[in-house]
């Protein structure tokens, strides 16, 4: 059976005819759907113009997350050297794996944490819009940034499933969505891994971490999470997804309960790495 | 393209404007549209230009189709002259709206309805007719008349009246822009009959049913249907017919009248509440959004499809669709999307005040609110370089308050900036108090709307909660009313202004649109932005300067009596001669003074004490307390005059009692002499002479026979280029003789009732005047304005062509060919 994903529809075609005829029919169908899409999207582009939502100047399509290449270029990608435990980037040339001073004497329950870009002003603004202003059109951009980072990840072959850092149910109701879950779903789809959105649960409505220091953050999220579907993740290597990693307190608390529930390894990957604290 | 809908809408609106300016036949516009369409298809290189041309011609074509009668039986083809007594049959296209007004302390009711004609009977003729007419009926119509009911009405069908003075509301144009060219005046509700049996009647529309139910719910548990409850109904359900002038006056003058138009605030609040509720019930973003959209449009329908509500509905739909489809939207593009849809639906909306205001406000918000917010935030918040973590709790609290205040102020200021020229132009009003006032009024309105929503939501399952919400809503509305009254009473809270030249509006909004397009960021386009801004400023300053220096006299068309407004250079000597009776003061004089930007009355002249001259003084001095009252020293016996003197004494107004020989401002008093002892009030009518350059204007008012004789004896060589008199009296022949002796080139007659106009003016025109003057009356010409500039007097009637009086050229006319020796004794012998 051949499966052709056309974006809008999936075509399942049983190969009981000549291959050339099959390919030509599928291509014809693809052309037809592309034409229909163009006709429908053209008037929509008048109402929702393809303009970069950062510089409001250059063109940027829905596939690009409405952020132009120039603005994406101003995001600082995290490349080595960075801390092998928390992913904090360093300037300069360090050839071997190293640990940053922040990680000395700290017990992390996850195997490693890595982020795609530095949480600079632009990234923080984009994340703020994504989290609090419902700007979900940024999803394709974030998905692209995530998958760029994960394409070279040495742990890629080991992961068995993808989990998001959960939101408390009240806050999720308020916001209407969990931004980490949206990102994790895209990552799972990109890596072709199962996505378990309800395994990890936030049981305490913790206050925002933005005003807290390192130790307060750790204290704030301690005992805030629990695992509900133990069997799904037992003895598995889990990829935990979040939007920003600053001190690692939240992801560490998640990793702790996951390990306790029988998970073999937890890897943390986030979209942005905060350098503030 | 950042805002593609902006260019599309501007081109489309340009087409509508072009058709209004150049009303070509529909066929010709059609040909133009098809031609440009063909060029668009064939000429690939210049397609963008042809697309613009296509949009322009499509706008013009659509507007022509809406405004020109096509059907041969269209009622717009009928020439009704002064009016026909007819019986019409048709279907009500809207439920009649009841209007209550208060005149002389008494409430009067009337109804307005729109009828789609099917037949018209005039005398013995049955004429097939189609099209819409407006029906105005005195009294209260029963509730059995509603939208969709076929009715028969008898009354006088006539074209709507034109404004009697420039600057006043033009009801005829307003209706014509809606495709209504005739109005039927029905004496009473007895003139209405339903043309269908009770069984066959269509059901009352669901929007009407909902409104009736909702109003019952909103008044549930309240002791009476008072003003606050009626205002709540008007604010939430758009029941504007419930509002009367007394209720809305404080809101108008405090710049918060917009709260009673169903607009972005209402639609956004309702949508926000609905979406929040939907998201609790339905998890799916698609379904929650779609159901919210449906409910939001139901709200727009319930409130009567007001233009501002449709605009807000379309903009909210764009935003919600963006949220559902995960696409970003811009305020400006969605604004112009809404404008385009509204103009396609009704191209005539472009010329409607509601449309212009609604879009002006949002344009102001889209362009100026963010820069203002940033500017204010920088000044109100503490040092931005201090890390948040380092700020103390009070500092954080202060910053939070500063941010919220900056946001509220920026929205209020931006909306004010967006609506300023339209309110200036259309309502002749500027409300500085609205800048800060809306910061208080909008949250109060928000609380009122939320309570109303809560009340409606709980009506079926928790009546006690409904009652609680109603009491709460009533309290917030009461707060709004008191706040409005307090703010409108503040000094300089509002002031009236004379209308701006139309070009100011063009430049002003071009300036805003260019800023919205981001032209200020590009070097070359920046010049266009600055150019528009500078031109706007220059035109406004020129207008203010010219208004300050303008010298004009306006004779108002009042059926009996006088009302003459004298605007002299500067504001110190602006004065009003008489004011007319009570009805005319409210309907004509006060709106006229407001339209001329009059904020205070310096001098109120009392020519004499007749009721038709000063009968409406109570309403006048209530709205415009005079700085000084000028009257004849010997006084009058009229009760109105005595009452006015008592009021002046109570309020401490200055009284200037004068007689012959005294000059005040430009007016020199010629009659009556102090202690003259005339018995009739008309004989002691103040007669004054104004000298503008070489031109003499004589105001003789009601002066009758004995007064004329006395004046002629003391001023036998009196000359007037322009003579202003009140309606001629019974003993008119001596006055004619005297008038002839003045050698006027223009005689202006005021205060003639329509039924006597032909007789009096006919007699006057038949008289063989030596100077062969032009004779105009305010009954035919409506308001007549005299302007003095560059040594000549331009006389501009509201209806008809203006004339120019050249005093120097008129000088030879002063040589009298007839001997008027011993004028006084001659007149007394006549």
Q: Residues 313-352, chain B: which have Cβ within 8 Å of A? A: 318, 321-323, 325-330, 333-334, 337
Q: Percentage of residues in chain B with pLDDT exceeding 70? A: 94
The per-residue pLDDT for range B21-68, each reduced to its tens digit, is 998 999 999 999 999 999 999 998 999 999 999 999 999 999 999 988
Verify whether the Cβ–Cβ distance B2 to A51 is below 8 Å.
yes
- Check whether residue A140 and residue A207 sit in a common domain: yes
The per-residue pLDDT for range A128-166, each reduced to its tens digit, is 999 988 899 999 999 999 999 988 888 878 899 999 999
Residue at A185 is within a domain: yes
Instruction: Report residue A108 as tokens.
Output: 């992390």
Give the model's pLDDT for residue B298. Answer: 94
Residue at A56 is within a domain: no
Choose between A97 and B742: higher pLDDT: B742
- Check whether residue A22 and residue A66 sit in a common domain: no
Mean confidence (pLDDT) of chain B: 87
* SS3 per-residue string spanning B781-792: HCCEEEEEECCE
pLDDT at B821 over 60: no
Verify whether the Cβ–Cβ distance A47 to B5 is below 8 Å.
yes
Give the model's pLDDT for residue A1. Answer: 54
Q: A96 vs A82, A83, A84, A90, B190, CA distance in Å?
A: 10, 10, 10, 13, 100
Verify whether the Cβ–Cβ distance B334 to A211 is below 8 Å.
no
* CA distance to partner chain A, nearest, from residue B286 (Å): 12
Whether omega for the bond prior to residue A81 falls within 30 degrees of 0, making it cis, is yes
Sign of CA dihedral A50, A56, A60, A65: negative
Give the model's pLDDT for residue B391. Answer: 76
Residue A198, phi then psi, degrees to nearest 5: -115, 10
- Residues of chain B neighbouring A49 (CB-CB closer than 8 A): 1-4, 330, 333
Give the model's pLDDT for residue B263. Answer: 83
Q: How many CB pairs under 8 A join A and B?
A: 54
**Among all residues of chain A, which has the CA nearest to that of B336?**
A47
Residue A116, phi then psi, degrees to nearest 5: -80, -50
Residue at A175 is within a domain: yes
Cα angle: A205, vertex A209, A214; to 5 degrees: 125
Give the model's pLDDT for residue B827. Answer: 58
pLDDT at B166 over 90: no
Contact in structure between B54 and B40 (CB atoms under 8 Å): yes
Residue at A237 is within a domain: yes
Question: In this complex, which of A48, A173, A177 lies closest to B327 when CB atoms are compared?
Answer: A48
- Residues of chain B neighbouring A210 (CB-CB closer than 8 A): 388
Relative orientation angle of helices B353-380 and B307-325, to the nearest 10 degrees: 60
Verify whether the Cβ–Cβ distance A49 to B330 is below 8 Å.
yes
How much is the average pLDDT of B460-483?
Answer: 95
- Check whether residue A29 and residue A69 sit in a common domain: no
Q: How confident is residue B459, by pLDDT bands cut at 50, 70 and 90?
A: very high
Look-up: residue for tokens 């270029």?
Answer: A73
Q: How confident is residue A13, by pLDDT bands cut at 50, 70 and 90?
A: low
Ordered DSSP codes for B813-826: GGS-SS---SHHHH
- Check whether residue A116 and residue A237 sit in a common domain: yes
Buried b (16+ CB within 10 A) or exposed e, A171-196: ebeeeeebbbbbbbbbbbeebebebb
Cβ neighbors of B257 (< 8 A, separation 6 or more) are B248, B251
- Check whether residue A115 and residue A245 sit in a common domain: yes
Quote the CA–CA distance of B120 and B533 in Å, as a whole number: 53
- Check whether residue A68 and residue A12 sit in a common domain: no
H helices of B491-638, in order, are 502-516, 523-549, 582-584, 590-595, 611-614, 617-623
Give the model's pLDDT for residue A19. Answer: 66
H helices of B428-517, in order, are 433-458, 463-488, 502-516
Query: Which residues, in sequence order, are bridge partners of residue B604?
Result: B576, B629
The per-residue pLDDT for range B287-310, each reduced to its tens digit, is 999 999 999 999 999 988 888 899
Choose between B773 and B516: higher pLDDT: B773
- Check whether residue A97 and residue A151 sit in a common domain: yes
**Among all residues of chain A, which has the CA nearest to that of B325?**
A137
Range of the domain at A208: 62-273
The reply to whether B279 touches chain A by the CB within 8 Å rule is yes
- Check whether residue A9 and residue A83 sit in a common domain: no
Contact in structure between B188 and B109 (CB atoms under 8 Å): no
pLDDT at B826 over 70: no
pLDDT at A73 over 90: yes
H helices of B43-130, in order, are 47-67
Ordered DSSP codes for A13-61: E---S-HHHHHHHHHHHHHHHHHHHHHHHHHHHHHS--B-TTTSSSB--
The burial class, CB within 10 Å (0-12 / 13-18 / 19+), for A92 is exposed
- Check whether residue A9 and residue A119 sit in a common domain: no
Choose between B327 and B763: higher pLDDT: B327
Contact in structure between B479 and B451 (CB atoms under 8 Å): no
pLDDT at A213 over 80: no
Contact in structure between B777 and B558 (CB atoms under 8 Å): no
Q: Which of B522, B52, B330, B512 is nearest to A51 (CA)?
A: B330
Question: In this complex, which of A62, A177, A210 lies closest to B327 when CB atoms are compared?
Answer: A62
Residue at A52 is within a domain: no
Q: How confident is residue B682, by pLDDT bands cut at 50, 70 and 90?
A: confident
How much is the average pLDDT of B495-524?
Answer: 84
- Residues of chain B neighbouring A66 (CB-CB closer than 8 A): 327-328
Cβ neighbors of A189 (< 8 A, separation 6 or more) are A195
Contact in structure between B807 and B721 (CB atoms under 8 Å): yes
pLDDT at A184 over 90: yes
Residue at A142 is within a domain: yes
Q: How confident is residue A2, by pLDDT bands cut at 50, 70 and 90?
A: low
H helices of B585-704, in order, are 590-595, 611-614, 617-623, 639-651
Quote the CA–CA distance of B616 and B584 in Å, as a whole number: 8
* CA distance to partner chain A, nearest, from residue B380 (Å): 22
pLDDT at A171 over 60: yes
- Check whether residue A41 and residue A92 sit in a common domain: no
Give the model's pLDDT for residue B734. Answer: 65
The burial class, CB within 10 Å (0-12 / 13-18 / 19+), for B594 is buried
Q: Which of B321-325, B341-345, B382-386 has the lowest mean pLDDT?
A: B382-386
- Residues of chain B neighbouring A56 (CB-CB closer than 8 A): 2, 518
pLDDT at B370 over 60: yes
The per-residue pLDDT for range B224-246, each reduced to its tens digit, is 888 899 999 999 998 877 787 78
Quote the CA–CA distance of B238 and B302 in Å, as a whole number: 8
How much is the average pLDDT of B391-410?
Answer: 87
* CA distance to partner chain B, nearest, from residue A239 (Å): 26
Instruction: Report residue A192 as tokens.
Output: 């072709």
pLDDT at B814 over 70: no
Q: Which of B107-111, B314-318, B625-629, B775-779 has the lowest mean pLDDT?
A: B107-111
Terminal-to-terminal C-alpha distance of chain A: 53
Count of Cβ atoms closer than 10 Å to residue B179 Cβ: 16
Choose between B727 and B161: higher pLDDT: B161
The per-residue pLDDT for range A221-236, each reduced to its tens digit, is 788 899 987 778 888 9
* CA distance to partner chain B, nearest, from residue A244 (Å): 19
Ordered DSSP codes for B376-427: HHHHHS--TTS-GGGS-HHHHHHHHHHHHHHHHHHHHHHHHHHHHHHHHHHH
Residue at A71 is within a domain: yes
Q: Percentage of residues in chain B with pLDDT exceeding 90? A: 40
Q: How confident is residue B384, by pLDDT bands cut at 50, 70 and 90?
A: low
Name which of B287, B321, B327, B330 to mutate to probe chain A: the one with the most chain A Cβ atoms within 10 A of its Cβ.
B327
- Check whether residue A172 and residue A224 sit in a common domain: yes
Cβ neighbors of B524 (< 8 A, separation 6 or more) are none
Verify whether the Cβ–Cβ distance A47 to B1 is below 8 Å.
no
Q: How confident is residue B813, by pLDDT bands cut at 50, 70 and 90?
A: very low
Verify whether the Cβ–Cβ distance A47 to B518 is below 8 Å.
no
The per-residue pLDDT for range B780-799, each reduced to its tens digit, is 888 999 988 877 889 999 88
Cβ neighbors of A33 (< 8 A, separation 6 or more) are A6, A7, A8, A9
Give the model's pLDDT for residue A29. Answer: 85
Number of structural domains (chain A) is: 2
Q: B248 vs A199, B244, B438, CA distance in Å?
A: 59, 7, 15
Q: Which of A84-88, B208-212, B722-726 has the lowest mean pLDDT?
A: A84-88
Which range scores top for mean pLDDT: A26-35, B381-390, B517-526?
Answer: A26-35
The reply to whether B523 touches chain A by the CB within 8 Å rule is no
Residue at A54 is within a domain: no
What is the ipTM score, two decimals?
0.81
- Check whether residue A136 and residue A257 sit in a common domain: yes
Looking up residue A236, the CATH number of its domain turns out to be 3.40.50.2020
Give the model's pLDDT for residue A229. Answer: 74
* CA distance to partner chain B, nearest, from residue A21 (Å): 36
The reply to whether B522 touches chain A by the CB within 8 Å rule is no
């Amino acid at each position: 059976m051949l499966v052709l994903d056309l974006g809008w529809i999936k075509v399942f075609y049983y190969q009981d005819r000549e291959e050339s005829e099959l390919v030509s029919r599928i291509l014809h169908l693809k052309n037809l759907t592309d034409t229909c899409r163009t006709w429908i999207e053209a008037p929509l582009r008048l109402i929702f113009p393809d303009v970069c939502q950062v510089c409001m100047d250059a063109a940027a399509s829905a596939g690009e997350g409405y952020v132009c290449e120039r603005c994406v270029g101003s995001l600082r990608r995290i490349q080595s050297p960075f801390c092998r435990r928390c992913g904090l980037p360093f300037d300069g040339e360090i050839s071997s794996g190293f640990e940053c001073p922040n990680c000395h004497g700290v017990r992390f329950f996850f195997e490693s944490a890595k982020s795609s870009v530095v949480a600079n002003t632009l990234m923080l603004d984009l994340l703020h819009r994504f989290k609090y202003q419902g700007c979900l059109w940024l999803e394709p951009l974030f998905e692209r940034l995530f998958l760029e980072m994960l394409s070279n990840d040495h742990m890629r072959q080991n992961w068995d499933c993808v989990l998001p850092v959960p939101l408390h149910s009240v806050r999720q109701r308020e916001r209407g969505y969990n931004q980490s879950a949206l990102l994790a779903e895209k990552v799972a789809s990109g890596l072709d891994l199962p996505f378990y959105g309800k395994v990890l649960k936030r049981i305490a409505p913790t206050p925002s971490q933005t005003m807290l220091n390192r130790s307060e953050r750790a204290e704030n999220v301690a005992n805030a999470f629990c695992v509900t579907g133990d069997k799904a993740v037992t003895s598995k290597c889990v990829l935990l997804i979040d939007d920003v990693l600053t001190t690692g307190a939240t992801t560490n608390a998640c990793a702790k309960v996951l390990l306790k529930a029988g998970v073999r390894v937890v890897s943390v990957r986030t979209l942005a790495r905060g350098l503030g604290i | 393209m950042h805002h593609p809908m902006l260019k599309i809408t501007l081109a489309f609106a340009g087409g509508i404007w072009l058709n209004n300016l150049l009303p070509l036949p529909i066929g010709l516009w059609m040909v133009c549209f098809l031609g440009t369409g063909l060029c668009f298809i064939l000429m690939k290189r210049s397609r963008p230009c042809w697309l613009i041309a296509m949009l322009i011609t499509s706008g013009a074509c659509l507007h022509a189709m809406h405004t020109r009668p096509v059907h041969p039986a269209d009622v717009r083809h009928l020439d009704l002259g002064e009016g026909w007594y007819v019986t019409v049959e048709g279907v009500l296209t809207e439920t009649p709206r009841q209007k209550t007004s208060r005149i002389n302390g008494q409430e009067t009711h009337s109804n307005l309805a729109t009828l789609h004609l099917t037949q018209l009977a005039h005398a013995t003729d049955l004429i097939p007719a189609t099209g819409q007419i407006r029906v105005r009926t005195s009294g209260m119509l029963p509730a059995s008349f509603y939208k969709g009911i076929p009715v028969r009405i008898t009354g006088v069908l006539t074209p709507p009246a034109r404004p009697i003075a420039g600057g006043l509301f033009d009801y005829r144009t307003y209706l014509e822009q809606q495709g209504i060219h005739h109005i039927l005046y029905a004496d009473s509700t007895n003139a209405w009959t339903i043309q269908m049996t009770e069984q066959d009647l269509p059901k009352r529309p669901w929007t009407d049913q909902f409104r009736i139910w909702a109003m019952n719910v909103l008044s549930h548990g309240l002791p009476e249907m008072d003003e606050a409850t009626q205002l709540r109904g008007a604010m939430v359900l758009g029941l504007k017919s419930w509002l009367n002038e007394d209720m809305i006056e404080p809101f108008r003058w405090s710049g918060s009248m917009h709260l009673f138009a169903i607009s972005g605030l209402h639609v956004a609040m309702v949508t926000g509440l609905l979406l929040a509720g939907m998201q609790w019930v339905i998890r799916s973003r698609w379904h929650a959004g779609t159901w919210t959209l449906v409910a939001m449009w139901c709200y727009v329908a319930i409130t009567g499809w007001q233009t501002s509500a449709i605009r807000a509905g379309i903009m909210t739909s764009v935003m919600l669709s963006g949220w559902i489809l995960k696409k970003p939207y811009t305020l400006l593009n969605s604004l112009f999307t809404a404008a385009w849809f509204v103009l396609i639906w009704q191209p005539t909306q472009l010329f409607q005040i509601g449309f212009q205001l609604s879009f002006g406000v949002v344009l102001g918000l889209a362009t100026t609110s963010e820069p203002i917010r940033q500017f204010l935030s920088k000044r109100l918040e503490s040092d931005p370089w201090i890390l948040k973590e380092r700020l103390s709790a009070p500092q954080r609290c202060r910053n939070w308050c500063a941010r919220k205040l900056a946001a509220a102020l920026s929205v209020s200021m931006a909306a004010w900036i967006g609506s300023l020229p339209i309110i200036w132009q259309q309502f002749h009003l500027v409300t500085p108090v609205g800048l800060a006032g809306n910061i208080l009024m909008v949250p109060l309105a928000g609380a009122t709307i939320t309570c109303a929503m809560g009340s409606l939501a709980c009506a079926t399952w928790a009546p006690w909660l409904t009652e609680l919400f109603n009491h709460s809503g009533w309290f917030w509305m009461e707060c709004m009313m008191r706040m409005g009254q307090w703010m409108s009473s503040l000094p300089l809270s509002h002031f009236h202004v004379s209308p701006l030249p139309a070009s100011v509006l063009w430049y002003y909004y071009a300036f805003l649109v260019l800023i919205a397009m981001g032209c200020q960021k590009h070097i070359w386009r920046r010049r266009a932005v600055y150019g528009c801004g500078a031109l706007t400023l220059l035109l406004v300053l020129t207008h203010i300067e010219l208004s300050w220096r303008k010298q004009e006299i306006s004779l108002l068309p009042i059926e009996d009596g006088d009302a003459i407004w004298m605007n002299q250079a500067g504001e110190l000597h602006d004065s009003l001669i008489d004011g007319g009776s009570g009805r005319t003061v409210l309907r004509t004089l006060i709106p006229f003074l407001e339209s001329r930007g009059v904020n205070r009355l310096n001098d109120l002249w009392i020519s004499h004490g007749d009721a038709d001259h000063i009968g409406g003084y109570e309403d006048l001095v209530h709205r415009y307390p005079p700085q000084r009252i000028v009257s004849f020293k010997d006084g009058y016996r009229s009760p109105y005059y005595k009452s006015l003197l008592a009021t002046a004494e109570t309020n401490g107004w200055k009284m200037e009692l004068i007689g012959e020989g005294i000059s005040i401002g430009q007016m020199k008093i010629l009659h009556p002499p102090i202690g003259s002892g005339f018995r009739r009030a008309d004989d002691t009518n103040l007669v004054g002479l104004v000298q503008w350059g070489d031109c003499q204007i004589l105001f003789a008012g009601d002066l009758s026979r004995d007064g004329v004789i006395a004046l002629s004896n003391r001023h036998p060589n009196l000359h007037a280029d322009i003579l202003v008199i009140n309606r001629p009296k019974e003993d008119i022949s001596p006055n004619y003789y005297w008038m002839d002796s003045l050698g006027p080139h223009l005689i202006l007659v005021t205060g003639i009732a329509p039924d006597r106009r032909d007789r009096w003016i006919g007699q006057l025109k038949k008289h063989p005047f030596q100077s062969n003057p032009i004779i105009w009356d305010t009954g035919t010409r409506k308001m007549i304005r005299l302007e003095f500039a560059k040594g000549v007097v331009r006389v501009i009637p509201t209806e008809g062509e203006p004339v120019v009086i050249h005093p120097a050229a008129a000088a030879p006319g002063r040589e009298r060919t007839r001997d008027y020796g011993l004028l006084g004794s001659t007149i007394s012998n006549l």
